[in-house]
Structure formats: C-alpha cells, structure tokens
A and B are shown apart, each in its own frame.
Chain A
Amino acid sequence: MIEIKSLSKEFPDKKVLNNISCTFYDGKTNLIIGQSGSGKTVLMNCIVGLLAPTAGEVLYDGRDFVKMNKRECTQLRREMGMLFQSSALFDSLTVLENVMFPLDMFSPLSRKELKKRALDCLDRVNLIEAQDKFPAELSGGMQKRAAIARAISMKPKYLFCDEPNSGLDPKTSLIIDRLIHEITVENDMTTIVNTHDMNSVMDIGENILYIYKGNKEWQGTNKEILTSENQRLNDFIFASDFSKQMRKNIEEKELQ
C-alpha cells in the first residue's frame, strides 16, 4: 500500500501540487486522472522519487520515502517497476537484453536462470517472438509490452505506469490495460496508472484519484464515477456530447 499525506510540490515559478492526500491499495489498479497540465506526472514523479516534494509524506507500506537516506532509497527502488510514457527501453539492447537488464544488475541468479526469468516475463506479455529485436524494430504496443516485461522482471511490489496508452490505438490500449490489471492481481502489486484515457478509467479503474489544477478533487471507483455529482469530474469524464448522452441513457436506465 502506498499512502501520500499532504503532498505539495512547488517549482520556482509555479505551485503544481497542493496538499494532496490519498491511499493506493495492494492488488488494485489505482488510477490518477486529470487534464493535461493538472499535475499527474509531477505527482507520480514525486511518488517514485524522481522529484522531491516540497512538503508531505510518501509512505510505502509505512516507510517514508521522502525521509529515507540514499541507501534505503536504492533498496526501495529495487521493489519498484515503472512503465514510462515513451517506454524508455534501452536502444542499444535487444528486447531480451532489456528485460534481463535489471536482473543482470541486481539479481543473484545464474546467467541461465536470469534468461529463463526474462523469457518467462516476455512470455507473460506475449512477446517471446520479438526477443531478439531492437526497440526501434517494434510497434508502439510491442514496445509497451516489452517495457512491462522489464518492469515486472524483478517481481516488484509497486508498479507505476505513466500514460501507458499514449500513442496507441484503442484496441491495443485495451490489451495493455488488461495486461497491467492482470499482472497487478496475479502478483498482488500496488499499481498506480497515470492516464487520461477514458477507456482505461472505465475498464480497470478500481481506485481513481481525480486531480484538478494540482488539487485532489475526487476519489472513488469506476462505478462511482458514473453517478458522481462532482461537476468538474463530470465535465472531464463526459467531455463530448456523445459521452454526455451515454451518461444520460445510463441514468435513465437506472431510474427505470
């Protein structure tokens, strides 16, 4: 479980996050949603330690990441896996080498066992056939799957996904979303997904945090989102006329 308490982040020219408190649960796909520029990525970067928060606490199962020394931070980071928006695969390594990289760096396993573990991860994301390819030779969806395989290779307790669907078509997005959700449940991980993809919200959003202009605006599940009275959330989720009509239809159905 990851808890953030009164988290704020200020840059010299702007306050991006304002006093956010929230809990992200084990075995659930936790989503952070919000408009572009609302502070989602900054919040995630504060949680994973790529940015230092101006104030507040980030607790990983009770351990405050902000107050940890360098050694403790490094230890904790080995319990994390992250899927970046750009996949962030190492260009000079093949897919298999990319997945093996964290294992090579930190695992005490033998070379043979490392390879077996990496192949298991690739098999889990259905990418065995692309093991010898370089990232540049893969499609966007395959790159994301390779990045997921790398992120889970060390069996992390915490998985972070920064806009995993950006640049992907709806069908591939759905595959990636389901994969993230299945892996989360299988391994009982605490997964935090940063997204503004509404399909993801409705499909896998078991615990959703909505951020509006750096403030926590709403928290709930994908089912609660449909009946929420929060105007800002509704304006964000049901932005198009089509989705507004859909919501109206659902409400009418429920009344009947």
Chain B
Amino acid sequence: MLVFNFLYCLGKYLCLMGRTFQRPERMRMFFKNYYREIYQLGINSIGIVLLISFFIGAVICIQIKVNVQSPWMPLWVSGYTTREIMLLEFSSSIMCLILSGKIGSNIASELGTMRVTQQIDALEIMGVNSASFLILPKILAIVTMIPILVTFSVVSGIVGAYATAYIGHIITPADLTAGMQHDFTQWFFWMGVVKSVFFAFIIASVSSYYGYYVKGGSIEVGKASTNAVVSSSVLILFSDIFLTEILS
C-alpha cells in the first residue's frame, strides 16, 4: 500500500511537472508573474537570510574559538572553519531548509487557497494551462533567486564572524582574515550554488504539488502547507547526501 501510494504520488507529481513545463500562452503574462514571484519569494527573503546567516556566522566563529580551538591548533582555525561551514553546508543546505519553511508554505498555501476558492478552476475554464501559468513562474523565480540568496548568506555569515572580532573581540581580525584566506577552494562556493539550484527546484515543485492538489477547505490548506514543508525538507536532506557525494 505504501509503495502504491508512493508510486501514485510520484506519477501525479511527474504529470504536474509535465503540464508545468510547457510554453506559456502569453509571454508578457508569464514575465509579469515571474517578476512578481522574484519579488515575493526572493527579494522578500533577503532580510531573513541576512539576519540568520549573520548570527550563525558569528556563533560558529565563537563556538570554534571558545570551545574547539586549543593551543596546539593554528590561530587561523576559527576563521577557516567558519568559512568552510558557511560555504559547504550552512548557506546552501541549511539555508534552503529554512527557506523551504518560508517559501514552501507560502507557495502551498497560496495555490491551496486558489484551489479551494475555485480560482484554479476558473483558469481552466478560460482555457489557461493553470499549472504552467501558476507554477512555472514560481519554479523559475526560485531557481533564479536562491543561488543569489546563498551568496548573500555566505557574505553575511562572514560579516557576522568579523563582528565577533571587531565588536566582541573574541578573535583578532588578523587571525580571522588569515583563516578566511587559508587554502581557499573556489569550487566549494560553486558547489553550494549548484546544490542550491537543486534544492530550489525541490522547494518550488514539491510545495506547488501539495498546494495544487488540495481538496477540501482551510484545514486541508493548512495540512498541505505543513506537508509541503516536511516533504521538501526531507527531500533536501536526502538529495544533499547524494549531491555532496557527487560534487565533492
């Protein structure tokens, strides 16, 4: 039964993606929606990304300096570790997990409400491919914006680490800079970007799937929103393992 349900959901998801990735009826309307989604889902998330990354960058730096670093370790270890954690895991994977909560629930509840208030039916009656009209701009907007958000997150995390040096005096700026510059591998940054593109697709498509097929009323919209966040988070975690293995 579990296998049957999984295959049924997978088939339904693939059918939805098949309908989504079709040429929009009117490019002008598509771009209008695309820009709106970029603003709503991407630009509106910049604040939370900067805030979380700043504090996490600062906290990682403090933790390493205070709790991990010992006299036999080089002084640059704290800066080096902070940079690597931000680049390799936090800004791509953990930030996408956080964004799946914000963006995923937004998408699922928006589409779910449109479904239960018959707005999606209205689009279908007009002869509009509702999946392509509603979901495609969301997917493309998120896939465009998340790599940018990941970059902002890395920068903000590093700024947070410097805040502990300049404001908190936990570490000297020189040691931190030495760590930040030590053995820098540019690919680590690009790996985060590539991973985030996959995660962005997961967040947008899975959340759209749950929202688009809501049946019932407000309670079901709430459930769809929760399911969207849980499923996309689990899928991000699973795919993170494979992507890290492949890209490393």
For B122, list chain A residues within 8 Å (CB): 82, 84, 88, 90
Contact between chains at B119 and A77 (CB < 8 Å)? no
| A56 to B87 Cα, complex, angstroms | 61
Q: Name the one of A50, A74, A85, A160 contacting B127, with C-beta atoms under 8 angstroms.
A: A74
For the complex, what is the distance from the CA of A101 to the CA of B28, rounded to whole Å? 12
| Chain B residues within 8 Å of A74, by CB | 127
Chain B interface residue count: which class? 10 to 19
Q: Which of B97-153 contact A (CB under 8 A)?
A: 113, 117-119, 121-122, 124-128
Q: Is the interface of A mostly helix, strand, loop or mixed?
A: mixed
Tell whether, in the assembled complex, residue B127 and residue A75 are in contact, meaning their CB atoms are under 8 Å apart. Answer: yes
Asked if A11 lies at the interface with its beta carbon under 8 angstroms from chain B, I say no
Q: Tell me the number of A-to-B contacts counted with CB atoms below 8 Å.
A: 54
- Asked whether A104 lies within 8 Å of B29 as measured between CB atoms, the reply is yes
Q: Counting chain B CB atoms within 10 Å of each CB, which of A73, A88, A89, A101 scores highest?
A: A88
A67-96 to B contact mask, C-beta < 8 Å, 1/0: 000000111111011101110111100000
A106 within 8 Å of B by Cβ?
yes
Interface membership of A220, Cβ < 8 A: no
- Contact B25–A106 (Cβ < 8 Å): yes
Asked if A176 CB lies within 8 Å of chain B CBs, one says no
Determine whether the beta carbon of A90 is less than 8 Å from that of B124: no
Most buried by A among B25, B117, B126, B128: B126
Residues of B within 8 A of A140 (CB): none
- A interface, size bucket: 20 to 34
Of B117, B121, B122, the most chain A CB neighbours within 10 A belong to: B122
Whether B125 contacts A82 by the Cβ 8 Å rule is yes
Rounded to whole angstroms, the CA-CA distance of A104 and B33 in the bound complex is 13
Taking CB as reference atom, which chain B residue is nearest A50? B121
Interface centre among A49, A77, A82, A105 (most CB of B within 10 A): A105
- Min CB–CB distance B152 → chain A (angstroms): 27
Do residues A105 and B121 form an inter-chain contact, with CB atoms below 8 A?
no
Whether B118 contacts A84 by the Cβ 8 Å rule is yes
A209 contacts B by Cβ under 8 Å: no
Pick 11 A–B contacts, CB within 8 A, sort by A.
A50-B124, A73-B127, A77-B126, A78-B126, A84-B121, A85-B118, A86-B117, A88-B121, A88-B122, A104-B28, A105-B25
Closest 8 interchain pairs by CB? A77-B127, A88-B118, A88-B122, A84-B118, A82-B125, A74-B127, A78-B127, A88-B119
In the complex, given contacts A73-B127, A105-B128, what are 7 additional A-B residue pairs having Cβ atoms less than 8 angstroms apart?
A48-B125, A84-B121, A90-B119, A90-B122, A91-B117, A106-B25, A160-B125
